Structure 1
Amino acid sequence: MEYSEEAKQVQKVSEYVVAYDFEVHDIIGTITWFRDCRTILYAIIGLYLFGVYFGEKWMKNKPAFKLTLPLFFWNSGLALFSIVCTLRGIPEFLFLLSKPDGFYLVACVGTPHNFATSFWGLMIVVSKIVELGDTVFIILRKQKLIALHWFHHAAVLIICWIGYEYYETAGRALFVNTFVHSFMYFYYAFKALGIKIPKSVSQALTTLQIVQLAAGVFGAIYILYLLVVQGRPCRMHFETFSLGVSVVAICLVLFIRFYKQSYSSSDKKKNK
């Protein structure tokens, strides 16, 4: 399916952002590819979990790699990518949110829409594959690999991939995630250099992630309210909704548990 020049102009120029030429792409063709190639997603997740399990076994009797500079550049690159994503994608989210009934527009209504938002939404999905490399550094440096880490990485990739297949309008909220990641990856970059960062910064970042997840759960409850109580239509597929709610709720519980273990005085004594 080809877009007419008029349709391209509508999606390229808007009140909140003007798309660059490289951001104008075949949205329908890309969605179709993702739908036809979901087996690739399952293969990636399978290889990732295989690597997590056997990677730790392989490193068990080997000395840890330092990887100071590679880790710094890795995290810095992801931080810069997150900033660009946020700057290009979040204007549409904020523009719709500022309107009357803004949350409904963000979560359930497909228009107005812009090529820039779509392009960087696609880049976020691709980045979730790249971010699996975070785990490689943890394993090679022989750091403690907690369940929250690998579950979060695998689950978010699945949600993003399937969400893009259905081209969910609520995917606009992913740019809130890149906003959080902008701070998070810069924190990891400085930490990789051995720079001493106050514990309060780490605590604030974890709190920010918890707030983000809690907002996701609240959003899901509100969408149910719109559908069931108000009977309003919402452009959201059941598979994405059910999977997304489940994963976000589980991650919220795991993050709260991690927060308590890391920052609660009684739990900190136990960990020591």
Structure 2
Amino acid sequence: MFPLNSSGSPPLTELSFERQFDDRGSILWMKDNWNKSFAFCALYAALVLAGKNYMRPRPRLSLRRPLVLWSLSLALFSIIGAVRTGSYMLHILSSGGFRSSICDQSFYSGPVSRFWAYAFVLSKAPELGDTAFIVLRKQKLLFLHWYHHITVLLYSWYSYKDMVAGGGWFMTMNYAVHALMYSYYAARAAGLRVPRPFAVLITSAQMAQMAMGLTVCGLVYGWMQQGDCHSHVNNLVWASLMYLSYLLLFTNFFYHTYLRRHAPAKTE
């Protein structure tokens, strides 16, 4: 039997590993170790540069099977994470309303979500491995790609330790978008022909995610002044700059990839 929350509604049923997860220990660990994310990012940048130099005189690698397995594993992780955190967010929305879904810190310690919140922030380190496939297959490495990986890792670890408001929305949206994105990558790596509209849908979802992230930041700042929405001004500044930069970069990518018409080839 699960205890009732403040609204009188029973929380979602926990799986055994979710029930056994120690959220207090994870938050304490992150308070002591979040700055190690800088070391991960520095190592990541160094390996990317070294890898590009190493591959420059060498032929590209196929890595089709490893890429399928990599993308599929991240797709499954993201799908499960999206379902579990999405279910909890729906529970908060239905029992406490929209404001509660943003300001309530229970996402970090509540049933179901506490495990997936920690799994989310930790997953940003292994996700850096995406870039290895781009480098080894000698594909074009976009600024958007590596910038996004580095800043998400830094911000996620930095914010989790303080259990800032809005985290439930940030993580759930990211899980959902990554579920689509990595499923697409897995299908493409497996040689399946994915309709172009699906790629357009993914980038559109990413743009919507960034716009919603900015909206949540604005709402947290306004409600924080009333004392019931826990965050810090410096955190909101970094979050807003991060989401704004993502929105501009993804919008630029969308325009150049799906809207801009290529100039016709010149004729002699």
Structures share a fold, TM > 0.5? yes
1:119 equivalent in structure 2: 115
Amino acid at match of 1:195: L
Q: Aligned runs of 1:33-182 on 2, under 5 Å?
A: 33-99=29-95, 102-111=97-106, 114-173=110-169, 174-182=171-179
Q: Residue 46 of structure 1: CA displacement?
A: 0.6
Equivalents in 2 of 1:103, 1:242: separation in Å? Answer: 22
1:199 alignment partner in structure 2: 196
Q: What is the CA distance between 1:99 and its match in structure 2?
A: 4.5
Q: Does the residue aligned with 1:245 lie in a helix, a strand or coil? A: helix
Question: Which residue does 1:3 correspond to in 2?
Answer: none
CA contact (8 A) 2:11 2:111 kept: no
Matched residue SS, 2:35: helix
The residue number in structure 1 matching 2:232 is 237
Q: Secondary structure at the match of 1:115?
A: coil
Paired AA for residue 235 in structure 1: H
- Paired position in structure 2 for 1:258: 253
Q: Please say if residues 59 and 139 of structure 1, whose CA atoms lie closer than 8 Å, have aligned partners that are also in contact.
A: yes
TM score, norm. by length of structure 1: 0.88
**How many residues in Structure 1 have an aligned counterpart in Structure 2?**
260
The whole-number CA distance in structure 2 between the counterparts of 1:225 and 1:159 is 21
What is the CA distance between 1:83 and its match in structure 2?
A: 1.1
99 and 9 in structure 1: CA distance in 2 versus 1, 3 angstrom threshold: closer
Distance 1:15 1:25, change over 3 A: same
Q: Which runs of 5+ in 1 are unaligned?
A: 1-5
Identity across matched positions, percent: 32
Task: List, as ranges, runs of 4+ consecutive aligned residues in structure 1 with deviation greater than 4 Å.
Answer: 8-11
1:260 to partner: Cα distance: 0.7
Distance 1:160 1:18, change over 3 A: same
**TM-score normalised according to structure 2 size:** 0.89
Q: Which amino acid aligns with 1:253?
A: L
RMSD: 2.4
Which amino acid in 1 is paired with 2:125? I
